[in-house]
Amino acid sequence: MRGGARDLAWRLLTVRARSLDPLVKARALGMTPDRSAERKPYLLPVCRVPARSAIVGGMFENFTATDRWTKKQVHCVYQEMIVAIATRHADAVDFKFLVDGRPVWVALPHPAWVEYKKRTGKAITDSLAVEIAGHYLKTALESGEADGREMYSLTVEETLNHLDAAVAEMQAQPA
């Protein structure tokens, strides 16, 4: 890591010489290409991973919930976040989860970010927004509100209520 433990970490990917053009790989590593280097694995930086906040611990990114109606355990995994104005012209941010492999989207309205900032002076970070969407999804599954739809849209108040509940649950977890 560059500059100490509190700096951003580099996610590394092992790349074998035969999977990339040897000249490209040698340039990326600051080396000159040669035959002996073609069989050795190398670590190349792919992207930086931001450090986690003290509050957001990833509790609702990968979780299981018990569906109220089927009593079946379902595995939910966060997959991606998309600003909805680009895809469906909505004033929201969409979060995609895989629920037992089936895509389910949770839409959080942009005005919730503004309202939260007005009320607290703090911003909703991307990682906190994932936790809000995950908390909603888990609550909906366990309470029976999830009815098999592919998309669930929250109001500003619902978003802020789930934010408060998610933060309270994460803070209640032992460190």
Q: Which of 23-37, 52-66, 95-109 has the highest mean pLDDT?
A: 95-109
* Residue 3 predicted with pLDDT over 60: no
Q: What is the mean pLDDT of residues 148-174?
A: 92
DSSP-assigned letters across all residues of the chain: --SSTTSPEEEEEEEEGGGS-HHHHHHHTT----GGGGGSEEEEEEEEEPPPPSS--STTTEEEEE-TTT--EEEEEEEEEEEHHHHH--SEEEEEEEETTEEEEEEEETHHHHHHHHHHS-PPPHHHHHHHHHHHHHHHHHHT---S-SEEE--HHHHHHHHHHHHHHHHHS--
**29 against 107, higher pLDDT:** 107
Backbone angles phi, psi at 158, to 5 degrees: -60, -40
What average pLDDT is seen over the chain?
Answer: 75
**56 against 84, higher pLDDT:** 84
Q: How far apart are CA 140 and CA 146, in angstroms?
A: 5
The confidence score (pLDDT) of residue 5 equals 32
Cβ-contact 17, 40 below 8 angstroms: yes
Residue 1 to residues 7, 47, 116, 160, Cα–Cα distance (Å):
7, 13, 34, 36
Reported confidence tier of residue 31, pLDDT bands at 50, 70, 90: low
Q: What is the mean pLDDT of residues 58-87?
A: 88
Instruction: Look at 24-28, 88-92, 133-137, 141-145 and tell me which has the smallest mean pLDDT.
Output: 24-28
* Residue 8 predicted with pLDDT over 70: no
**46 against 128, higher pLDDT:** 128
Domains annotated for the chain, with CATH where assigned, are: 9-49 (no CATH), 62-172 (3.30.160)
**81 against 40, higher pLDDT:** 81
The confidence score (pLDDT) of residue 44 equals 40
Q: Which residues of 9-29 are buried (b: 16+ CB within 10 A; e: fewer)?
A: eeeeeebebeeeeeeebbeee
